[in-house]
Amino acid sequence: MPELYGTYQTKEALLRKIGNISQIAGVRSCEGTEGNERGVQAVDFRTGTGFHFTVLPGRGMDVSFAEHCGRPLCWRSSTGDIGASFFEPEDLGWLRSFSGGLVVTCGLSNVGAPCFDDGEKLGLHGRIAHIPAKHVYVDGKWVDDEYVMWAQGTMRESRVFGENLALTRRVWAKLGENRLFLEDTVENLGFEPAPLMLLYHINGGYPAVDEGSELVSPTESVAPRDEEAERGLEEYAVFQKPTPGFKERVYYHEMKADEEGRVHAALINRSFDNGAGFGFYVAYRKEALDRFTEWKMNGEGTYVVGMEPANCVVDGRANVRARGELKFILPGEQKQFELEIGVLASKKEIEAFEEKVRRIKGK
DSSP 127-155: SGGGSPPEEEEEEEEEETTEEEEEEEEEE
Distance CA 187, CA 166 (A): 5
CB 339 within 8 A of CB 182: yes
Taking alpha carbons only, the member of 78, 43, 48, 79 closest to residue 63 is 43
pLDDT in tens, 252-295: 999 999 999 999 999 999 999 999 999 999 999 999 999 999 99
Which residue type is seen at 110? N
Confidence of residue 35 (pLDDT cuts 50, 70, 90): very high
Contact 110, 123 (CB under 8 A): yes
Are 263 and 219 in contact by the 8 Å Cβ rule? The answer is: no
Cβ–Cβ under 8 Å, residues 63 and 182: yes
Closest CA to 114 of 317, 288, 361: 317
pLDDT of residue 346: 96
In three-state secondary structure terms, 109 is coil
pTM score, two decimals? 0.96
Instruction: Answer whether 23's CB lies under 8 Å from 194's CB.
Output: no
Say if residue 296's pLDDT is above 70.
Answer: yes
Instruction: Kindly report, residue by residue over 95-153, the tens digit of the pLDDT.
Output: 999 999 999 999 999 999 999 999 999 999 999 999 999 999 999 999 999 999 999 99
pLDDT tier, 47 (very low <50, low <70, confident <90, very high otherwise): very high
Question: Domains of the chain by range and CATH?
Answer: 3-361 (2.70.98.10)
Residue type at position 85: S
CA distance 99 to 302: 11
Look up residue 285 and give its amino acid: R
pLDDT over 70 for what percent of the chain?
100
Sign of CA dihedral 46, 128, 152, 9: negative
Q: Is the pLDDT of residue 363 over 70?
A: no
